Amino acid sequence: MIDFVQNTVDGIMFGSSYALLAVGFTIIFGVMRRLNLAFGATIMLGAYVGTWLHVNYQVNVLIIALAILASTVLTGVYVERLCFRAIRRDAALASMVSSFVIWMQLEEVAIHLLPERTYPFPSLFVVDAIEVGAFLFRAEHVTMLVLAVAMVGALHLLLHRTRFGLALRAMSENPRAASYMGIDTGRVMLCSFALVSLVGGVAGYTILATDEQITPFFGLWTTFKGLIAMMLGGMGSLPGAILGGLMLGVVEAHSQWYLGNEYKDLSAYILLFAILVLRPGGLMGRRILSREELAYRRV
Amino acid sequence: MTPVLEVRGLRVSYGGLRAVDGVSLEVRHGEIVSIIGMNGAGKSSILNAISGIVPPDEGEILFDGESIGGLATHAIVARGIVQVPEGRMIFGTLSVEENLRVGAHGRGGFLLRERTRADFGRLFPTLADKLDRPAAGLSGGEAQVLALARGLAAEPRVLLLDEPSLGLAPKLAADVFDLIQRLREQGLTILMVEQNVGRTLALADRAYVLESGRIALQGSASELLSDSRLVANYLGMSSTSSCNTT
């Protein structure tokens, strides 16, 4: 019982970072109706810039964190300009394919920045695990959860209390109508990419600070985790992305504990398979779809 | 008097097919001008070209004597031309108030001004007590009223209306036309596209009749109402009326 609770809480804490990755994928999908496959690579390259600073200059952890966020945002903006802005709205496939190609390009840049495979990644701080009764929590995991909750809270406020947030939500629902209403859709797209990259940068940083190492495969890893979590929750649904991320974290934690490390990823894929068979639109996806249908039927 | 909005020699095409072929029209301050025509005559394309949604092949669009051709839609909205699109296109997942605030976005705002809010209470009493509800729950008539209200939240000087009565029951359509009449009384200039020719001409000052992308007839509403060609083709008063039932 203690193991079960411990694993569940660990899973939720680690899953909170999956949730942030999924939120990144899902916001861009919502605004653009296109998948940004370069999102994971964007996070990876940002983290590589921080690692490069760490390896070469031994700078303060805080500065590294800021450098990671800044370079992730810049890379995100670069991807938007290249794969999304320049390509016509109705050519969703072209955007997706070019974002995949840009993923390879970003990976190449990272490899040239730091040529060997694995590098140490600076931890946030060195603190002992936190003991609560019979339970033991890693400080990095707690930080991850706290930051993720803060990010989601800030995101919620941004989406519901600001002019940009309203524009983003309007555009997610109907880009054409948003355009008619005088929303500068190009600017919303660009800002969405910057925003999502910031969220991804935080997720990437906390994950790497827990792992304490980085390889170029980190781009692939974040893409997998983010896409699986998004699909679990339902594409385009923010609550779905959060639910999917937490669920993925919990299932991984349990399977790792009860079945062993080699079954961790497999169980994630089995979970995805089961959800897609039982609820093809994802957990929160169907409701969103039918609501959209409802809205269209009324017009 | 110089027109507020003027279109000269407008040509619009989609993938090689010409939808608007050399249309010139003008709208003077405080007028309701209507564009009449059958499905596919190019009516909506004219509005979309004015709004900057569709790039014209040729032609000039002047607002207050200044060219606005080639400007992005958000820049045109900011100057004071707002289109209420066909099919209403309200945001179903947003609340009624949020829909209005998206409208206010066009004039650079976020919250509704108190004056605007008071106007809405007076003009749109059906919406006033539903501000917090999701717009997806509105009836077709309410949705059209919301679409109009949302357009007005941008505080336009010229309102472009694309088929405001489409899909509405006759009673609701009449309400919408009443509303448009009241907007004109407030000094708004309106260019509208409608298939309900009888009602439109009762409301409009002038009208243009569009056929295959060209203007076939134009004149004051009363002149057009007495024009036998228009009556025959659009008002369903002769045996050739089958083509106007939409």
pLDDT band (50, 70, 90) for residue A260: confident
Q: What is the 3-state secondary structure (H, E, C) of A198-210?
A: HHHHHHHHHHHHH
pLDDT (tens digit per residue) in B4-57: 999 999 999 988 889 999 999 999 999 999 999 887 788 999 999 999 999 999
pLDDT (tens digit per residue) in A227-246: 999 999 988 889 999 999 99
Whether the pLDDT of residue A296 is over 70: the answer is: no
pLDDT (tens digit per residue) in B67-91: 998 899 999 999 999 999 998 899 9
Which tokens hold the place of A149?
Answer: 């909750």
B189-194/B32-37 β-pairing: parallel
Which whole-number Å values give the CA distances from B173 to A160, A214, A227, B43, in the listed order? 34, 64, 47, 19
Phi, psi of B10 (to 5 degrees): -75, 130
Percent of chain A at pLDDT > 70 equals 95
Q: What is the DSSP string of chain A?
A: -HHHHHHHHHHHHHHHHHHHHHHHHHHHHHHHSS--TTHHHHHHHHHHHHHHHHHHH---HHHHHHHHHHHHHHHHHHHIIIIIISS-TT-HHHHHHHHHHHHHHHHHHHHHHS-SS-EE---S---PPEEETTEEE-HHHHHHHHHHHHHHHHHHHHHHHSHHHHHHHHHHH-HHHHHHTT--HHHHHHHHHHHHHHHHHHHHHHHHHHH-EE-TTHHHHHHHHHHHHHHHH-TT-HHHHHHHHHHHHHHHHHHHHHT-GGGHHHHHHHHHHHHHHH-TT-TTHHHHHHHHHHHHHH-
| CATH architecture for the domain at B5-242 | 3-Layer(aba) Sandwich (3.40)
B195, HSE (Cβ side, Cα atoms, 13 Å): 16
The pLDDT of residue A88:
72
The C-alpha angle B37, B40, B45, rounded to 5 degrees, equals 90
Q: Residues with Cβ < 8 Å from B26, sequence gap 6 or more?
A: B3, B5, B6, B7
The reply to whether residue B74 touches residue A179, judged by beta carbons under 8 angstroms, is: yes
Helix (H) or strand (E) segment spanning residue B119: helix B114-123
The pLDDT of residue B52:
94
* Residue range A177-202: mean pLDDT, rounded: 94
Nearest CA in chain A to B74: A182
The pLDDT of residue B225:
83
The C-alpha angle B40, B41, B45, rounded to 5 degrees, equals 80
- Asked if B95 is an interface residue toward chain A (Cβ–Cβ < 8 A), one would say no
- Asked if B73 is an interface residue toward chain A (Cβ–Cβ < 8 A), one would say yes
Whether the pLDDT of residue B63 is over 90: the answer is: yes
Closest Cα partner for B89 from A166, A160, A173?
A173
Task: Name, of A46-50, B130-134, B222-226, the range with top average pLDDT.
Answer: A46-50
Selecting from A167, A169, A298 the residue whose C-beta is nearest the C-beta of B136 gives A298
Distance from CA of A89 to the nearest CA of B (A): 13
Selecting from A170, A182, A185 the residue whose C-beta is nearest the C-beta of B91 gives A170
pLDDT (tens digit per residue) in A262-286: 888 899 899 999 988 888 888 887 5
Does the pTM surpass 0.95? The reply is no
The pLDDT of residue B243:
43
Q: Which residues of A touch B157 (CB under 8 A)?
A: none
Task: Name, of A246-255, B119-128, B139-148, the range with top average pLDDT.
Answer: A246-255
The pLDDT of residue A59:
87
Using an 8 Å CB-CB cutoff, list residues of chain A that contact chain B.
162-163, 166-167, 169-170, 173-174, 176-186, 291-292, 294-295, 298-299
Q: Are A163 and A171 contacting, i.e. CB atoms less than 8 angstroms apart? A: no
Domain locations in chain A?
A: 2-120+132-298
The pLDDT of residue B79:
94
| CATH architecture for the domain at A2-120+132-298 | Orthogonal Bundle (1.10)
The pLDDT of residue A299:
43
Average pLDDT, chain A: 89
At CB < 8 A and 24+ separation, what contacts does B138-141 make?
A: B138/A298, B138/B90, B138/B96, B140/A298, B140/B167, B140/B168, B140/B169, B140/B172, B141/B168, B141/B169, B141/B172, B141/B175, B141/B176
B214: β partners: B211
Strand arrangement, sheet containing B17-27: B17-27, B5-14, B58-63, B66-67
Domain locations in chain B?
A: 5-242
Phi, psi of B66 (to 5 degrees): -105, 140
The pLDDT of residue A223:
95
Who wins on pLDDT, A70 or B40? A70
Which whole-number Å values give the CA distances from B234 to A178, A280, B173, B192, B218, in the listed order? 33, 49, 18, 16, 14
- Asked if B93 is an interface residue toward chain A (Cβ–Cβ < 8 A), one would say yes
The reply to whether residue B85 touches residue A162, judged by beta carbons under 8 angstroms, is: no
Nearest CA in chain B to A178: B102
Whether the pLDDT of residue B244 is over 50: the answer is: no
**Distance of alpha carbon A77 from alpha carbon A198, whole angstroms:** 11
The pLDDT of residue B246:
39
Q: What is the ipTM of this complex?
A: 0.90
Least confident of A6-20, A32-46, A197-211, B227-241: B227-241
Of A181, A238, A293, A298, which to mutate for an interface test with B (greatest number of B Cβ within 10 Å)?
A181
Q: Which residues of A touch B106 (CB under 8 A)?
A: 181-183
Closest Cα partner for B178 from B126, B131, B128?
B126
Closest Cα partner for A164 from A29, A22, A31?
A31
**Distance of alpha carbon B162 from alpha carbon A180, whole angstroms:** 12
The reply to whether residue A169 touches residue B138, judged by beta carbons under 8 angstroms, is: no
**Distance of alpha carbon B112 from alpha carbon B109, whole angstroms:** 7
**Distance of alpha carbon A263 from alpha carbon B222, whole angstroms:** 80
B62: β partners: B6, B67
Q: Are B203 and B32 contacting, i.e. CB atoms less than 8 angstroms apart? A: yes
pLDDT band (50, 70, 90) for residue B242: very low
Percent of chain A at pLDDT > 90 equals 59
Cβ count near A62 (within 10 Å): 9
pLDDT (tens digit per residue) in B128-176: 888 889 999 888 888 998 999 999 999 899 999 999 988 888 888 888 8
The pLDDT of residue B189:
96
